Amino acid sequence: IFSSAVTGILLFSIFHLYECIAIELCFRNHLEYHREFVDVPFWNLGLLPEFLLEFLVCFVHPGPRLHFNLTVEARGRLSIYNSESILVAWMFMRLYTLWRYYREWMFMRYTSKNFASRLSDVSMDSKLAIKAILADVPFQTISFLFLLMTFTLAYLVRIAEAPANMEHIYFWNQLWLIVVTATSTGYGDLYPLTHLGRFVCTLAMIAGIVLTAVLITTVSTNLELNAGEHRLMNFLQSEHWEREIKVAASRSIQSWWRRAIFHPKTLQALRNFKAKKKAYRKFLEATPHFSSFVESMKQDTEMVRQTLSKIEGKVVSGLDLGKLDRGPRGAGGLGGLSSFGGGGGSG
């Protein structure tokens, strides 16, 4: 009775969902094409085959007075399945309704979803929903799907193997079998004996491969650098490359110099420079008055600079410039200029 009541509520929910879809399509027709709003039933909008398929999947359930046994012989073993087990295994197909309602709820939060879908030419279907969920919460989604797959397939293995295999009486054995099968481990301590059990384990293999591929893709995507990390690493790499370029340039110059210093033309130029330097030194030693003239010019230039600095200091302090003429001849002032003149004449 409880199963029938839950089934009735589920069928009513599916019918109401299709009515809502029909109303949404009528509103879209009214808003986008500016036509008069007409409430059209969903069976007149081409949704009747899809509704009948979902109705058939969700209608099957163990009734209050429905009971029969099904005998199957496989590999020399006789398995007897009761009607409740078969119908409960069929009822696991109702799990798709969870995904159906979750997908509709996820897209229903966006008011401009239809306009954005038409503008970007992307259909808002299950494929887009799966991509959005994996991009938002990837590891939580994979963990939930793995747990759901494990418990669902383990219960199906229990239904298929319990009448023919005593090792599958305990539910933990079925869980262990599904885990080692989905992860491609296969210890061999537990294995199915019936054809139905083998089919369920095959589904576990396929589901495990798909989840493993999704997990690898998710991990590789999360390990990639984002835009900010790319900019940071490019800046650090540019600094490193600049330092490496400087080191390479210095090594190139050193290598060139070590090779060029022993070149015949380089050695000849160095010998010529040494000879000219030696000749210039001999010239200075041969003409001592020339060197003394240079030293006298340096002293007179320094004296002029000191005198000009003193004059500037006096002007700034507001003193009388005439005091500079009454000073001693060699003590500074303008007398330094006459001495410079005299020195220049004698030179």
- Model pLDDT for residues 147-172, shown as the tens digit of each residue: 999 999 998 888 888 777 776 677 88
CB 118 within 8 A of CB 95: no
Q: How confident is the model at residue 257, as a pLDDT?
A: 73
pTM metric for this prediction: 0.58
Cα separation values, 162 from 61, 68, 105, 148, 154, Å: 21, 17, 39, 21, 11
- Are 60 and 66 in contact by the 8 Å Cβ rule? The answer is no
Provide, rounded to the nearest whole percent, the portion of the chain with pLDDT above 70.
Answer: 81
Q: What is the pLDDT of residues 94-129, one digit of tens each?
A: 888 888 878 878 877 776 776 777 777 777 788 888
How many Å apart are CA 192 and CA 138, to the nearest integer?
Answer: 32
State how far the alpha carbon of 267 is from the alpha carbons of 271, 272, 279, in Å. Answer: 6, 9, 18
Burial class, 303, CB count within 10 angstroms (exposed 0-12 / middle 13-18 / buried 19+) = middle
Please check the confidence at residue 307 and state whether its pLDDT lies above 60: yes
The pLDDT of residue 208 is 92
Mean of per-residue pLDDT scores for the chain: 77
Contact 78, 85 (CB under 8 A): no
**pLDDT tier at 281 (50, 70, 90 boundaries)?**
low
Check pLDDT > 90 for residue 313: no
Q: pLDDT grade, residue 209 (50/70/90)? A: very high
Check pLDDT > 90 for residue 308.
no
Residues 43-65 have pLDDT tens digits of: 888 888 888 888 888 888 777 77
H-helix or E-strand spanning residue 154: helix 138-161
Residue 338 and residue 263: Cα distance in Å, rounded?
A: 57
342 pLDDT above the threshold of 50: no
- pLDDT band at residue 204 under the 50/70/90 scheme: very high
Across 10-19, 21-30, 279-288, the highest mean pLDDT is recorded for 10-19
Residue pair 174/184 in contact (Cβ under 8 Å)? The answer is no
Flag the least confident range among 41-50, 60-69, 190-199, 331-340: 331-340
In the chain, % of residues over pLDDT 90: 8
CA distances from 111 to 115, 131, 295 (A): 9, 20, 95
Is residue 62 a contact partner of residue 82, using CB atoms and an 8 Å limit?
no
HSE, side-chain direction, 13 A CA sphere, residue 196? 25
What is the spatial distance between Cα 71 and Cα 267, in angstroms, rounded to a whole number?
Answer: 107
> Distance between CA 110 and CA 247 in Å, rounded?
58
Q: Per-residue pLDDT averaged across 76-89, rounded?
A: 77
